[in-house]
Chain A
Amino acid sequence: MAVNSLRILLCEEAARHEVGHLWQPEEFLLESEVPGKTAEWAENWEQTAPTLSYDFVGVLLSKWREVARLESLEREVLLLKDRVAELERSTPVCVPIETFAPEPYKVVKPFHVVVQTRADEYVASFFDANLSASGPTETEAIFNLKDVILGVLESLTEHDKAELGPGPAKQLRVLKKFVEKTA
């Protein structure tokens, strides 16, 4: 009977302090409810109950603040993890090109291409020559760019200098600096 009264009182206090949703009776088993223990109540428990309930609400509030803070930190950590993963994925990667084997072309001077993610794909670019190609993986994007470089070089060398506009003329000048046909 005494335990029930105290519980009702605590529930009312919890509701008054708007922390009723945190009231978890099983977490706050009174000693008398622990199997094998006997309740020992002071005779004046009814006078001390309000103080006890006040302390109890204080504990609940501090626990609630701690939980809220931890949840907030957890959310921030998850956001940061996503952000780091996104940055790792989207950071441009610089890759040296040193060979066109097995194609009959050689690299006169090694050069770098940049691989970036775009939508669900990787785009490899040789900016100096304004040439790019994409692929489902970084490796494929680079292989595709090498293919485009050779394809464009072949096409450009088939033209007279006078037949090339400013863009393709610059591409040819750049490509000739770095790539040469071997056979």
Chain B
Amino acid sequence: MPIITKELALRIAKKLKADVKKRPGKAHDIALVYHEGKLVANFGIRRGSKKNLGHDYIPNQLYIRPRQARLLGECPLLREDWITIMAEKGML
């Protein structure tokens, strides 16, 4: 069972107020995360209908640990917290 399922990936995208670029006919949609007008991160979301499709690669692309990505999707970690982590890593 993947740590980050498609359902959680969609919740993470929503939480980060990502702009999800739909790509009909392709395998992935691309979630683009902006901060103060700049694109700061992106990740692919698989287009399959299964809710438990694996997205365990997302934490790397958001520069956070898998546990933090999970918390992000499950609520305890806020977008602001993620922005702070990104700033600390010099990714903004």
Contacts and interface: CB of A to CB of B under 8 A. Distances in A.
Interface stretch (A43-51, A62-70, A140-148): A140-148
Contact of A119 (B27, B29, B56): B56
B41 A165 contact: yes
A134 B61 CA distance: 13
A164 B39 contact: yes
Given A155-B21, A167-B63, A120 B2 contact: yes
Contacts of A167: 40-41, 63, 91
Contacts of B2: 118-121, 134
B77 to A, nearest CB: 19
Interface residues of A, number: 28
Contacts of A134: 2, 46, 53-57
Contacts, number: 95
Interface residues of B, number: 31
Contacts of B10: none
B35 A165 contact: yes
B90 interface: yes
A92 interface: no
Interface string B64-83: 00000000000000000000
Nearest to B36: A165
Interface string A109-131: 00000000011110101000011
A159 interface: yes
Contact of A130 (B3, B27, B61, B90): B61
Which of B30, B35, B53, B90 has the most chain A CB within a 10 Å cutoff? B30
B92 interface: yes
B56 A118 contact: yes
Contacts of A123: 54, 56-57
Interface in A142-164: 143-144, 147-148, 151-152, 154-156, 159, 163-164
Nearest to B26: A147
Contacts of B46: 133-134, 144
B44 to A, nearest CB: 4
A96 to B, nearest CB: 20
13 contacts: A119-B1, A119-B2, A119-B56, A134-B2, A134-B54, A134-B57, A151-B26, A152-B30, A155-B30, A155-B42, A163-B37, A165-B35, A168-B39
